[in-house]
Chains A and B, each alone.
Chain A
Amino acid sequence: MAGILQFENVGLRYGTGAETLSDVSFSLAPGSFTFLTGPSGAGKTSLLKLLYLAQRPSRGLIRLFGEDIVTLPRSRLPAFRRKIGVVFQDFRLIPYLSAYDNVALPLRVGGLEEREIETPVREMLDWVGLSGRSNARPATLSGGEQQRVAIARAVIGRPEILVADEPTGNVDPEMAGRLLYLFDALNKLGTTIVVATHDVHLLSRVPHSQLMRLEKGRVSDPTGALRHPPRSPDDEQP
């Protein structure tokens, strides 16, 4: 079955160094929830970069939404990127924009009018518990607050795939729970979720999730679900 995302023998090399990722092959079903784990330096962030189209692989094939993105013309990348929400490990909030404007950025980039933006942005800020901080600049927000703004920005555009790099690294357990609840809710609406994390306890909080483990740039598939992803509910027609 064709997944929403397929990697086949993907390798990634920076410059002339050794391969950071080697022979990575897996497939993600639409609407799946995948945790990506592995020790530091295993290549998790590099794999995510390939996922959110910040990097092209050195070799192999990547198919995203049914298209080969390795050879995809550069001019078509923005349309693909708009379908992917990203929570960066270092948040990458724009420092001179308020929390409100940071969250509104994907909608503005998508060409929405200001009157169409305000309600969803206010709702999203309210959801992540920052409705009272909408005018605050990132420098005046705590690490946890910045992370929540980053998450709000990643999900506001209702992406088809949400990629999060250590999204709960800077928040307390209660907020981590709420964020996972948000991810789960998005997942139930059909968003494919990939979360890179060191926190193995998160896995138990999303029972239907699958696990992908990276070690020394190679992927292992402990559950076997990556090679043979489960059918999505839409496929289960009589």
Chain B
Amino acid sequence: MLPQRKTAGPMPWVIAIMMFLMVLTVAAGLGLRNASSHLRAGLAARITVQIVEADPIARVRQTKAALQELRRISGVTRVERVEAGRMRKLLEPWIGTGLDTRDLPMPEMIDVDLSTEAGDQAAAIADAVRAVAPSARIDQHAQWLAPLDQLLGMLKWLAFSVVFLMATATAFTVVLAARAALDNHRATIDVMHLLGATDLQIANLFQRRIALDALFGGALGFAVAGMIILLLGQRIEGLGSELVGSISFPAAGWILLILLPIAGTGLAMATARLTILRALGRIL
């Protein structure tokens, strides 16, 4: 009973833009959440033990004792002494290649991986190691990357706040579009009322139209954003960086992304229905 048109004004295009931005933002939020939990899991469960002892004999003795003690502790999944060759390579950027590291009182380093459950017991493990190696210093990796983890967490919540704001803006767009549609079709509405049409019958007509427009806009925005996410995923994989690579998009996230245009259509329908019923309620 309303005129057949492919799209009703700018609303589908506004929804397409909003959906495009929303899908990208949600994808970024999910990627950051993934990275955040990846970092947390990886770092909370890793410590480095340094035996900082000037006396080389005592240093070696304490290192062996520490290695023995660490292998005995339950929850320790891997213990690996950093070999001299690897240490030399690590130090090359600072001391160059010509220096014999045996002349330097370098600390012994032990990389320790803990099981996820043992990650919280790092302090107790440190105490146990110091009991056998008094010169041991324990570095918990989590403490160094905690600010980055916090930043990722903040960005994640910022992303979801932006999505909420864009959803609100989309709803307001629908309100304006519904009001404009009512104004444009006021004469038709008056006639339909006088022929005995109920508010719900009239609202259904507009709601269906707006839902179709929202679905079109949502699908378009989703399709374009989806392609960009796939392209970005390929580029991130190609970088080979562990940190950047941790910002991966979880496969299950696609389900959430697909739900976005559907939820957007539902939001548009509900907003249109409420707006139209409220406006019709003011007419006799």
Could you tell me which A residues sit within 8 Å of B by CB distance?
52-56, 74-75, 77-82, 86, 92, 94, 96-97, 101, 105-106, 108-110, 153
Contacts and interface: CB of A to CB of B under 8 A. Distances in A.
B1 A94 contact: yes
Given A77-B284, A109-B201, A92 B187 contact: yes
A10 to B, nearest CB: 16
Contacts of A108: 1
Contact of A82 (B3, B188, B196): B196
Interface string B28-70: 0000000000000000000000000000000000000000000
B191 interface: yes
Interface string B191-202: 111111110010
25 contacts: A53-B194, A53-B284, A54-B190, A54-B284, A55-B284, A75-B198, A77-B284, A78-B193, A78-B196, A78-B198, A82-B195, A82-B196, A86-B194, A86-B195, A92-B187, A94-B191, A96-B3, A101-B1, A105-B1, A105-B191, A105-B192, A108-B1, A109-B196, A109-B201, A153-B195
Contacts of B191: 92, 94, 105
Interface of B: 1-4, 187-188, 190-198, 201, 281, 284
Nearest to B281: A74
B196 A81 contact: yes
Chain B contact residues, majority secondary structure: loop
A117 to B, nearest CB: 13
A75 B199 CA distance: 9
B284 A105 contact: no
User: Which 5 pairs show the lowest CB-CB distances between chains A and B?
Assistant: A82-B196, A81-B196, A96-B3, A109-B197, A78-B196
Nearest to A107: B195
A81 B284 contact: no
B82 to A, nearest CB: 79
Contacts of B187: 92
B195 A109 contact: yes
Contacts of B201: 109
Contact of A78 (B3, B4, B188, B197): B197
A75 B277 CA distance: 12
B146 to A, nearest CB: 61
Most chain A beta carbons < 10 A, residue from B3, B192, B195: B195
A36 B63 CA distance: 113
Contacts of A97: 1
Nearest to A80: B196
Contacts of B1: 94, 97, 101, 105, 108
Contacts of A82: 195-196
B255 to A, nearest CB: 39
B284 A56 contact: yes
A78 B194 CA distance: 8
A108 B195 CA distance: 10
Contact of A105 (B4, B190, B195, B198): B195
Contacts of A55: 284
Given A94-B1, A96-B3, A97-B1, A106 B195 contact: yes
B3 A79 contact: no
B195 A81 contact: yes
B3 A81 contact: no
Most chain B beta carbons < 10 A, residue from A53, A74, A78, A106: A78
Contacts of B198: 75, 78
